[in-house]
Amino acid sequence: MNVVENEEAVSRLAAEPFDANEFPWEFLAAFGNNETTIKRLRSGQSNASDVTGGVRRT
């Protein structure tokens, strides 16, 4: 993804109602993270965050 595509995706995300449970995943997708990466993070397989509800992509 290029900068323009990122900006468009983030603008679409900002226009939607805020959903705290889905926001981290939608935000990562807006910056070009693929579905496999997001699925691994969701499952906790590669989520390095030690904060409850947090997401840390390494």
The answer to whether residue 19 scores a pLDDT higher than 90 is yes
Q: How far is CA 28 from CA 1, 43, in A?
A: 12, 15
CA distance 8 to 12: 6
pLDDT on residue 58: 77
The answer to whether residue 9 scores a pLDDT higher than 90 is yes
CA distance 46 to 58: 8
Tokens, residue 32: 């070009």
Torsion-angle region of residue 8: left (phi > 0), alpha (psi -120 to 50) or beta? Answer: alpha
pLDDT tens digits, one per residue of 24-52: 999 999 999 999 999 999 998 888 888 88
Do residues 41 and 55 lie in contact, with contact meaning Cβ atoms separated by under 8 Å? yes
